[in-house]
Every structure is written in structure tokens, then in C-alpha cells.
Amino acid sequence: MFNASMPTSPGSMVNQCKFEEDEESDSKDIFITVDNPESHVTAIETFITYRVLTKTTRSEFDNSEYEVRRRYQDFLWLKGKLEDAHSTLIVHPLPEKFVVKGMVERFNGDFIETRRKALHKFLNRVADHPILSCSEDFKVFLSAQAWELTTYKKQGPGFLSRMGETVRAVANSVRGVKNRPEEFTAIQEYVEDFSNKIGSLDKVTQRIVKEQKEYLEELKEYGPTYTLWSGSEEELAEQLKGVAGCIERCCKETEEQVGHLSDTLVPVLHEYVLCAETLKAVLRRRDNIQAEFEAKNEALATKKVDRDAESSDLGFVWGSLLGKNPEEARHQRQERLDGEIEELKEEIDKLEDRVEWANNALKGDWGRWQRSMRGDLKSAFLSTAEKNVDYYEKYFIFIHTQITVSL
Amino acid sequence: MMADSGPEEIAVIGNTDLTSAELENNIKNTMVEIEKWTSLLRKMEISVGEAEKRTGKNTVNMQEIYTVYLIETRPVDAVTEGIIPAPDSLWRRYSEFELLRNYLLVTYPFVVVAPLPEKRAEIVWHKLSADNMDPDFVERRRVGLENFLLRLASHPVLCNDKIFYIFLTEEKGWKEMVYETGFQAKADSRLKAMNAAFRVKNPDKRFTELKHYSDELQTVVSQLLRVRARVADRLYGVYKVHGNYGRVFSEWSAIEKEMGDGLQSAGHHMDAYAASVDDILEEEEHYADQLKEYLFYTEALRAVCRKHELTQFELEMAAQDLASKKQQKEELVTGTVRTFSLKGMTSKLFGQETAEQREAKLQVLEQQIEEGEEAVKEKNTESDEFVKTAWLDIEHFKDQKDRDLKEALISYAIMQISRCKKGIQMWTNAKECFNKM
């Protein structure tokens, strides 16, 4: 199953190995690579595209291999479509549009590489998801040529209908959900706490990187003072140069360690900061679906009350103004209300299904998400701890040799 | 008795019947014997045990708080039947140490006198306060002062000094004794001479080189110490931030089920890692102090070089003076004026001197020449003596420096190894905890 010739980053290799252990991935049948960033310059703009290479045995795909080029906007589009279609499934986050702090240029090498890795992870997560990976939009994203994709994108619900949905969602969120099941409240509380913790870890780790870099800067100045001193000494020259050598070695190892931290732990923590936001949004959307259902139920109850009430004087007066027979007016009104009630009942049935489906989808994905969160964070921290052990071991061996040789 | 022991019988000094009081007595009575001892340390254990705060009035009658240090001495041979008697002790403050050192500098100008530890904490990193009352600083100063005394006690010349001995053994009246030696006047003229500007024509090349070396050493070691302090500061930061992991892991573990235990214990290891830097940096401070001692030694080296220049200059001046007197005599005898002189001109203007006048002048000059020759001989001997004794001490210093610094550098490397070992252990522990997540 595992295609050894595919270039993968060590991080995703670990994740893929991890998924090999899950029952789901016994059937891993889509392998995706994101690589080869290239700059494109047009009259209007400059942007980067990435090569997306897909190998698959799935029957829905016409071919077994696809190679396309995609830009960040395309990934954003895909994510949007997936979330629209499956509003309570947990879609892995995309790297951010811009890096606010640090004023990193969009075309800086490190930035591009970090983004590439995150995009690679995003697509592979989608590919591993039992429901999301079957999405038609996903298939098109992986296989369509650039112009085909542009055409495809133009189809689908227009701008106005999406606006309508957003307005409804806002209205529902203002109203709020009244009877949220306990388990979702528990999840929400967890997500709040998790969001705080992962945010703190992200900050702490970035602070460590900063401190290590500053330490490294000073070390780089420190070694040479011993070398300078050795120039004035005879008996001590060798020892002084020995110490200078040790410090130089420490510099080298520290540089590597900082690099590892930046490549391995920082991106993962950052991803999960984004995940926390995704989870919050998913919970909100679930709440909104339930809120809509509840709202419709309330409307139905009101209508029923209306229908069962005696004809109001106002209705009678109105009817007679129109020249209607009061008996007839009441009858017509009853019929009208009955019709509306039937419509509402149908809508409510559909909404009830929708709520049930949304809840089940979320419940299922929640377990999945927790497992992959544990896997990702465990492996990132493990890797960091291993690298730190390695750092001290290498430095230790070097000093030891130096002591026996020159000190 | 002590009178019988000569330099060949140093081993006999370990006379178990001697108490410290008798010791003192012997010193006072037989100053001659002192010269035969090569090292006071063979006779006596010296330590600076404690530090205490005192309050008192200073020279301008204002209240001040100062620290005093306890000097304890005990004869090396004092262990009788396994019982170690209590040491003799007295209290001294830093200014008294300074006074002792100034006295020794003036009295033994050919000796590279060991430096005192810092008066104020100069090259610090943020954790250490520059406050003289800070307990860590006081502790390090205590160690430095003990080291200073041990250096003096192991110096072949200085260890025999009476003032030094009294400093160690008699609290009252020592200061007066020092001033009675009249060293203050010498100290003042020495200071003046040190700061005077003069040009030496033929200094001993070795001293010139030594002066350059001590300048280089001072520059290079101060820079090293400054950067080291910055490195220590940064390292502290790195370790301490890891403590934040401890806190967050602990909080996070509360909301996780499967990962809870692993996170909790990993958090403890992160806390331990953050705390470990305190000991590490304290040890390194000791290393820095070893380097600092030699940084301060450069001043003593320069002082000896300067003294050589001074004696050499005085010799050259005396020789120059003698030469000019001889020349004047020659001119007087031969009647020729080779060099322009006011006397010559006036004699031309106002007529030649009488034969008696010339004779008188000649006699004076001959007297002066005789005195001058004595002076030159004296200065020559003085200069040679100085060069010989100073260079002996300098060679001794160089050996000591190479030994001490080699040891310091090796111990620094070992400190790094120890830090690595701690790091390996802690991160291996953390790794195991992460594995359990």
C-alpha cells in the first residue's frame, strides 16, 4: 500500500504510519503529494502554484494517476465546498492566508515550504476521511485541469443563495439553541479548554524558539573569545582552542535543534490552534441546525394554537367587510392554516432528519478527530524530546573527545 | 624547639606539642626563623569561614552597614589523639584586606601580589544582583578572600611577612601596626611614580613583553567574561521558558483522558528541567571567578613591570648625570668647551676664571663624580636585584597561571558534560512520558 517512491515529509510519513494502524486505513487507496512550488507572473498579479500528484485505485476516478497544479485560492475553494456540504464534519484546517506577525513575505522560501507542508497534510487528511474523500468537489480538485476547474467552480449555488444561508445562520445563532444535548455541551467545554491550552503551548514553543535563537547569537560571539585568547598563550593555547571548538560545536547543534523545533513542533501546534477554531465553528453550525429545527417547531405550535382558537372578532369584522359570510370566512381560514401546518410538519420532518444526521456525523468525526489529535501531538512532542536527547548526546560525545585529545 | 629546625628539616615542623599560642610566641621571638620556612601553609590551616553584617559609624560619622568575614587559623599539626581543637578566629572587613594588600604591594614591589576579589559585582548577568549585600555575592566574595589568603600563605616570600601573620592572628591593633611601618608614605610616592610619564631607553625586553602580554590578557579575558555573562543570561531564559510547558501540560492533562497521565508526568520533567539551570549557572559562576582572578592579576603584573621601568629609569638618570659631570670635568681640565653652557659664555664675556676658582670647581666635580659613581653602582645593583627577584617571581606566577587556568578550562568542559548528562536524562524521561500519551 505504501508507495516508497513518493516524496513525503518526515512528519507526514509518521502520520501515514500511524494511520496504517487504524482500521480505516487498511483501505488507504488515495495517495497525494503536494510539492514543487512555482511562481507565476501575470499582468495583474504574482502567485504561487503547487503540484498536486494523486495516485489512486478508486473506481470513481477514471485514471490511477493525476498531476495538476493548484494555487492557494483553489484549496480555499475546496475547503469551503466541503464545509458547505458537510457542515458538521471536522475538516482539517488550511494554513493561514497571511502571516501577520513577523512580516513574512508571501514569497519567502520558509513561508512557502511551511505552507506546502500544511497543504500536503490538508489534502491527505481529506483523503483519509471516509465521507469527505468521496466528495465530487474533491475529485474534481485532484483531477481537473486548470480551465476545467475554473468552469466547474462557476457552477453551484450562486452568491445570493449563499448570502441567504448566511443570514439565516446569523439569525439562528442570535436566537440560540434551547435544548442542546448534554454530550455536545461537554464537547464544547472541552473545545474551549483545549483551545486555551493549545494556544498557550503554541506561544510557549515560539518563545522557546526565540530564546534559543538569541542564545545561539551570543554563543557565536563566545567561542571566538577563546580563540583570540589562545593567540597570547603558549602552554594554554591548545586547551583554549579546545574550549573554542566545543562552543562552536554547541552552536552547530543548537542551530539544528532550533530548526527541528521550527519544522516539527511549531507547525503542528499551530495547526491545532486552527483546529480548535474549526471545532468551534462546527459546533456552532450544529447548534444552528438544531436552532432552526426548534424555531420551526415553535412556529408550528403557534400556528396550531391559532387554528384551534375561536375566530377572533377582528377576523369576523374583516371577513364581513369583504362581504364574506362569517361561516365561510372561518372555514377558509381553517383550511389555509391546515395547509400551512402540513407544510410546516413536512419541513420539520426534514429538519429533524437533518439534525439527527448532523449530530451523528459530528459524533462520529469527533472520535476520529480526537484520535488523530492525540497521534499528531504525541508524535510531535516525541520527536522534539528525541531531538533534544540527540542534541545533548552529540554535544556530550564531542566534549568528551576534546577532553581526551586537547584539554 | 623551633630554633633547631632549619630549611632542611621542614618536616620536623609537624611538632604535635605546639599550640597556636606558642606558635605566635615563637614567631615574635625568632623572626629569623620565619625566613627559613618556605610556606606558611605547611604550618597552618587558614580559612575564611563565615560572613556577618555589622553596623557602625564610618569616617564621616554616618551609619553604615558592612560585612565582616571570619578568619580561622589552626596549626596543621593540631590533631592530637584524633581530637581537632577549635580554630582561632577573628573578624576582618574588606577594607582591611585592601590595606593588607596595599602594604604588601609597597613592601615587596618585585612580587606579583595576588588580587582581591571584586569590591562590587561588576560583570553580572541578570540573575545575580549587583548588590553588595546579596547573599550569593557575599558568599562568592568569602571564597575569593579565602583564596587570596591562601595565595599569600603559599607564596615563598610573602608568607614570611610579619604584618600578614598578625593580620591572621590578632584582631586588635593590627591596623595601627600597619601604619606604624610607615608604608603609607612609600605608597604615596609609589602611586606618584606609577602615574608619572617617563621614557626608559633600555628596559629589559622580557618586561616589555610581559607588559604587552598583561594588556592583551586583560582585554581578552574581560571580553570573554562579558560575553559569557550574556550567554548565561540567554541559557537561563531557554531553560526557564520550558517551565511554562510544565504548567500548561499539567492544566491540559486535566481535560484529557488517555493522554492525561503522560502529560502530567511530562509536565513534571519540564519543571525539573527548568529548575536545573540554577545549579548549572552557579557552578559556572565559580569558573568565571577563576578567570576573574587572573584578570585582576594583570594589574599586579603591570605594577611589577612599571617598578622595573622606574628602577631602570633611575639608573639611566644616574648614569646620565654621571656622564654629564664627567664631561664637565673634562672640559674644565682641557679648557675646551664642547657643549654650549651659560657658564662658558659668561666666562668668555667676563674673562677667564682664576686658577683657584678652576681648582675649586674641579674638586667639587670630582666629589660629585665619586658620589655619582657610587649612586650608579647602587642603582645598578638595585636594578639587577630587582630584575632577578622579580623575574623569579614572574616565572613562578606563569607556572601557577598555566596550571590554574588549565584546570579551570578542563573543569569548565566537565561542567558542560554534566549539563549534557542532565539534559539527556531529563529529555529521555520526558520522551517516555510522551510515549505513554
Q: What is the ipTM of this complex?
A: 0.82
Q: Confidence band (pLDDT; 50, 70, 90) for B66?
A: confident
* Pick from B248, B255, B259: CB nearest A190: B255
Higher pLDDT, A289 or A108: A289
Higher pLDDT, A261 or A176: A261
For residue B56, give Cα distances in angstroms to A267, B63, B66, B96, B385. Answer: 62, 6, 8, 15, 45
Least confident span in B182-186, B229-233, B426-430: B182-186
Name the 3-class secondary structure at A38.
strand
Distance from CA of A102 to the nearest CA of B (A): 21
Q: Confidence band (pLDDT; 50, 70, 90) for A164?
A: low
Q: Confidence band (pLDDT; 50, 70, 90) for B34?
A: very low
B407 touches A: beta carbon within 8 Å: no
For residue B426, the chain A residue with the least C-alpha distance is: A389
Distance of alpha carbon A85 from its chain centroid, rounded?
16
What pLDDT score was predicted for residue B428? 96
Higher pLDDT, B104 or A334: B104
* Pick from B248, B417, B427: CB nearest A389: B427
Q: Which residues pair with B51 in a beta bridge?
A: B69
Q: Which residues 133-172 on chain A approach chain B with CB closer than 8 angstroms?
A: none
What pLDDT score was predicted for residue A68? 93
For residue B164, give Cα distances in angstroms to B117, B152, B169, B173, B185. Answer: 18, 8, 9, 13, 19
Q: Which residues 262-301 on chain B approach chain A with CB closer than 8 angstroms?
A: 262, 266
A374 touches B: beta carbon within 8 Å: yes
Distance from CA of B413 to the nearest CA of A (A): 7
Tell me which range, A310-324, B71-85, B92-106, is most confidently predicted by mean pLDDT.
B92-106
B13/B6 Cα distance (integer angstroms): 10
- The percentage of chain A sitting over the pLDDT mark of 70, rounded to a whole number, equals 82
| Interface contacts (A, B; CB < 8 Å) | 141
B402 touches A: beta carbon within 8 Å: yes
Q: Which residues 183-202 on chain A approach chain B with CB closer than 8 angstroms?
A: 190, 193-194, 197, 200-201
Nearest to A145 by CA among A52, A265, A226, A26: A52
A391 touches B: beta carbon within 8 Å: yes
The H or E element spanning position B75 is strand B63-75
Inter-chain residue contact B410 with A403, CB threshold 8 Å: yes
The H or E element spanning position B106 is helix B94-107
* Pick from A374, A391, A407: CB nearest B410: A407
Number of neighbouring beta carbons within 10 Å of residue B411: 14
> How high does pLDDT run on average in chain A?
84
For residue B433, the chain A residue with the least C-alpha distance is: A382
Mean pLDDT to the nearest integer, A124-143:
92
Higher pLDDT, B344 or A128: A128
Mean pLDDT to the nearest integer, B2-29:
45
Residue B29 has pLDDT above 60, yes or no: no
Q: Which residues 10-39 on chain A approach chain B with CB closer than 8 angstroms?
A: none
Q: Which residues 228-287 on chain A approach chain B with CB closer than 8 angstroms?
A: 228-229, 232, 235-236, 239-240, 242-243, 246, 250
Determine how β-strand A65-71 pairs with β-strand B44-57: unpaired
B258 touches A: beta carbon within 8 Å: yes
For residue A209, the chain B residue with the least C-alpha distance is: B238
Per-residue burial over A261-277, b if 16 or more Cβ lie within 10 Å, else e, is bbbbbbbbbbbbbbbbe
A301 touches B: beta carbon within 8 Å: no
A406/A241 Cα distance (integer angstroms): 8
Residue A208 has pLDDT above 90, yes or no: yes
Distance from CA of A295 to the nearest CA of B (A): 34
Inter-chain residue contact A218 with B231, CB threshold 8 Å: yes
What pLDDT score was predicted for residue B9? 33
Mean pLDDT to the nearest integer, B143-160:
92
Mean pLDDT to the nearest integer, A373-384:
95
What pLDDT score was predicted for residue A156? 67
Name the 3-class secondary structure at A69.
strand
What pLDDT score was predicted for residue B36? 38
B34 touches A: beta carbon within 8 Å: no
For residue A387, the chain B residue with the least C-alpha distance is: B427
- The percentage of chain A sitting over the pLDDT mark of 90, rounded to a whole number, equals 54
Residue A289 has pLDDT above 60, yes or no: yes
Q: What residues of chain B lie within 8 A of the CB of A258, using their CB? A: none
The grid coordinates listed for B6 are 632549619
Nearest to A269 by CA among A383, A396, A402: A383
Interface test with B, best of A197, A376, A402 (most B CBs within 10 A): A197
* Pick from A219, A378, A389: CB nearest B231: A219
What pLDDT score was predicted for residue A407? 64
- The percentage of chain B sitting over the pLDDT mark of 90, rounded to a whole number, equals 50
Q: Confidence band (pLDDT; 50, 70, 90) for B334?
A: confident
Residue B268 has pLDDT above 80, yes or no: yes
Long-range contacts from A93-99, C-beta under 8 angstroms, 24+ separation: A93/A122, A93/A271, A93/A274, A93/A275, A93/A277, A93/A278, A94/A118, A94/A119, A94/A122, A94/A274, A95/A119, A95/A122, A96/A274, A97/A72
For residue A376, the chain B residue with the least C-alpha distance is: B437
What pLDDT score was predicted for residue A304? 84
Higher pLDDT, B319 or A175: B319
Mean pLDDT to the nearest integer, B240-248:
95
Mean pLDDT to the nearest integer, B70-96:
79
Q: What is the DSSP letter of A263?
A: I
For residue B237, the chain A residue with the least C-alpha distance is: A211
Q: Confidence band (pLDDT; 50, 70, 90) for B32?
A: very low
Nearest to B74 by CA among B83, B60, B90, B85: B85
What pLDDT score was predicted for residue A138? 93
Alpha-carbon dihedral sign for residues A57, A62, A67, A72: negative
Higher pLDDT, A255 or B14: A255
Nearest to B200 by CA among B324, B105, B307, B112: B307
What pLDDT score was predicted for residue A319? 60
Q: What residues of chain A lie within 8 A of the CB of B209, using their CB? A: none
Distance from CA of A305 to the nearest CA of B (A): 46
* Pick from A197, A378, A399: CB nearest B416: A399
The H or E element spanning position A117 is helix A109-128
Residue B31 has pLDDT above 70, yes or no: no
B357 touches A: beta carbon within 8 Å: no
For residue A383, the chain B residue with the least C-alpha distance is: B431
Q: Confidence band (pLDDT; 50, 70, 90) for A21?
A: very low
Residue A82 has pLDDT above 80, yes or no: yes
Q: What residues of chain A lie within 8 A of the CB of B262, using their CB? A: 378
Distance from CA of B214 to the nearest CA of A (A): 9
A122/A91 Cα distance (integer angstroms): 8
Question: Around A245, how many Cα atoms within 13 Å sit in the side-chain half-sphere?
Answer: 18
Q: Confidence band (pLDDT; 50, 70, 90) for A161?
A: low
Q: What residues of chain A lie within 8 A of the CB of B241, using their CB? A: 204, 207-208, 211
Nearest to A232 by CA among B124, B301, B201, B303: B301
What pLDDT score was predicted for residue A51? 94
Interface test with B, best of A193, A221, A226, A396 (most B CBs within 10 A): A396
Quick: pLDDT tens for A85-114. Answer: 888 899 999 988 766 555 445 556 678 888
